[in-house]
Amino acid sequence: MLKEKINQIGIFIFALCCSLMFTQCSKDEFTGHSVVSPNNITATLVWDEEEPPTSLIEENKSFPFTIVLSGPQVADASFYISILDGTTATASEDYEFTDPDGNVISNLYIPAYETEVKGVLHIFDDIYPEEDPEILSFQIGDNRLSNMEFIPEVTTINMGNRTSEDITLTFDWERPINITIGGAEYEGVGTCINGVNIDVVLLDAAGNDLGDYQAATSECLEIFKMSSTTWTHGDGTFYLAAWLWRLGDIVPDPGTGTIAFPIESTLIQTGVFVAKHVQDEADAINTDTAPDWTVPPSPIFRVEVSGGKFSFYDYITGELVAAQ
């Protein structure tokens, strides 16, 4: 009887040891997973160069930052970037979060046994007049971090429109057309690629050339800038007109007749207006126009200047296109 009891006690002790051994193995198998108890690790968000101000004017600017752990830990950690209610700014247009290599991110990840991760907040320049100010409100990190101490801070930035006195006008006449070159017919060939060169000049109310040739550079996209700080012609009526400098290789396809080159204009005053205008084909320079400076130019805009302020009207219809 005594021997039998001793055997039972031995079996019980053996079973208990095995149970403890397998329980310990189970713990070891899950080492490194995110399901761990708090271990007195703290995480800190540090703006590397400067902290984003509460108010700024939209421009291309970057704010690099680092999340630093007080020590390595056995678990991976993710810090989520949360865009908060009240944000009116638009991702990828007004702002963006990336890693240091420029890849767009929505969270930052610190692998086990490492102690930091870097990110960058980008604010973008914006020429378009929008709600002023636009608001970006965000926090980095939240209560999903169960294995360390981290108190996320809310950052709110009021982004005002950048404005400029300069008005920039671009003139573009690139378009696919069917042409004949050396007797061979080509479809969908670009007008600029084949040497159609149009200049845009400034005329006074009587149609006299004022000698401002900033948009007469032989480039396909011509650019003309006007500003109250540099304007020297006073108030009055003026015209921006197209002049054919070279026709290049463009020859109308047989049966197609005259080919017109209507100019698409974009007028930009940063933070004030962005307007587009397309010249009517009937009023545009065409393949019947002689590349000769003695030929009268083809007006695109009537420009009214009053008190240093500019207003642009369609030359034919008189419709207002843009005004300060």
Whole-number pLDDT of residue 21: 44
205 and 237 in one domain?
yes
State how many domains the chain has: 2
202 and 172 in one domain?
yes
Domain-ending residue, one of 136, 160, 184: 160
172 and 137 in one domain?
no
Count of CB atoms within 10 A of residue 230's CB? 9
Q: Which of 2-6, 141-145, 318-322 has the lowest mean pLDDT?
A: 2-6
In a domain, 126, yes or no: yes
316 and 181 in one domain?
yes
Segments forming the whole domain that contains residue 180: 167-323
Q: Model pTM greater than 0.75? A: no
Q: How confident is the model at residue 8 (pLDDT cuts 50, 70, 90)?
A: low
Cis amide bond preceding 133, omega within 30: yes
In a domain, 22, yes or no: no
Q: How confident is the model at residue 193 (pLDDT cuts 50, 70, 90)?
A: confident
- In tens, the pLDDT along 243-292 reads 988 887 777 666 667 888 899 999 999 878 889 999 998 889 888 887 77
Domain-ending residue, one of 160, 185, 206: 160
Give the bridge partners for 260, in sequence order.
286
Q: How confident is the model at residue 26 (pLDDT cuts 50, 70, 90)?
A: very low
Q: Please determine, for residue 164, whether its predicted confidence score (pLDDT) is greater than 90.
A: no
Name 126's Cβ contacts closer than 8 Å, sequence gap at least 6. Answer: 58, 93, 94, 161, 162, 271
181 and 303 in one domain?
yes
- The residue type at 296: P
Question: Strand 154-160 relative to strand 55-57: parallel, antiparallel, unpaired?
Answer: parallel
- The residue type at 87: T
In a domain, 4, yes or no: no
In a domain, 103, yes or no: yes
Tokens of 57: 């004017």
Q: What CATH number does residue 142 fall under?
A: 2.60.40.10
Q: What CATH number does residue 258 fall under?
A: 2.60.60
Domain-ending residue, one of 112, 136, 160: 160
Q: Which of 15-19, 24-28, 181-185, 188-192 has the lowest mean pLDDT?
A: 24-28
Closest C-alpha among 237, 303, 319, 223 to residue 268: 223
